[in-house]
Structure 1
Amino acid sequence: MTATDRSLELIETAAQAAADKLAHDIVAYDVSDVLAITDAFLLASAPNDRQVKGIVDEIEERLLKELGAKPARREGERDGRWVLLDYVDIVVHVQHSEERVFYALERLWKDCPELRLPEDAEATRGKGAEHANAAGAEGRESAADTSDELDGELR
């Protein structure tokens, strides 16, 4: 069994919407052979809660406007760390980058075929790590600057 044309259309539109809102590491899996409840999963992440919510809102708006699809269920919105949109045919997971690393959903679905996504969505691969490395470097520089300032005050 493979994902239906409708599922692929939903995944493509949702992935493009996520990419347009600067989501990181967008990936989709055809889970139709291992799950009876849905055809595909879309995973995306963002570095902060506000961006997670923005990505979710854009996906929901775009799927409704372009394909007339409404989620049957929406969970996790209050915290903004991991929001799940269940469209029955597909399930969209938008996670804060820290949750994405911790829960590593890719490991669970690694044996399922990856679905092709729009070029913009494919280009987001590895962006989460780039962002984390950049934030880490900024944090180290800021800590070094603070340390230098304290050293100057103590002299």
Structure 2
Amino acid sequence: MSDYFQAPSPTQSSTVTQNLVSAPLADISSTSGLLAVTIAEAASDRKAGDMVLLKVADVSYLADYFVMMTGFSRVQVRAIADAALDKVEKSLNRRPLRMEGKAEGSWVLLDYGDVIVHVMMPKEREFYNLEAFWGHAERLELTNEMGGGRPT
């Protein structure tokens, strides 16, 4: 199994980037919202692709936000997760309650309690399609600078 995944070209379609109900990122003012945005910024610094922020507080008791993104190699998936861990610890003095999948590197889950982070390889992301599962949640817009678009 290869450690790298060929990123789709901008002309290819993806089931991951469905348009759901959107709200501007500026509406986030809670502690959990700040955590979600901090994670998104850290992931953007590591060139995470197809980043999605879902506000699930109104539809689930599991968390307030889900932050989902794609890494195009196992190394990048781990680097994105490490960047999020470091930035959150330095900026907000928080560590995740639980972390899974870092050794494998195809799907890393960081559980901060109020924010759950999924960093996935494209095949895992397409297979599990969490955006569709949580499709009734409010989707928050990300700028292209924050990973809302495809990597270049």
Match of 2:101 among 62, 70, 76: 76
Structure 1 segments (4+ residues) deviating >4 Å: none
Aligned partner of 2:130 in structure 1 is 105
Extract unaligned runs of 5+ from structure 1. 132-155
Aligned partner of 1:57 in structure 2 is 82
Match of 1:19 among 44, 49, 74: 44
Match of 2:116 among 91, 97, 104: 91
Identity %: 36
Q: Distance in 1 between matches of 2:143 and 2:91?
A: 16
Are 1:120 and 2:137 an aligned pair?
A: no
Higher relative contact order (CA 8 A, sep 6+): 2
| TM-score between the two structures when normalised by the length of structure 2 | 0.77
Change (3 A) 1:8 1:119: farther
Number of matched residues? 126
- Aligned-CA RMSD value: 1.9
Q: Distance in 1 between matches of 2:114 and 2:64?
A: 5
More helix by share: 1
1:5-16 to 2 correspondences below 5 Å: 5-16=30-41
Q: Deviations over 1:12-46 (max 9, x none)?
A: 11001101100000011011112112111000111
Check conservation: 1:48, 1:97, Cα contact below 8 A. Answer: no
| TM-score between the two structures when normalised by the length of structure 1 | 0.75
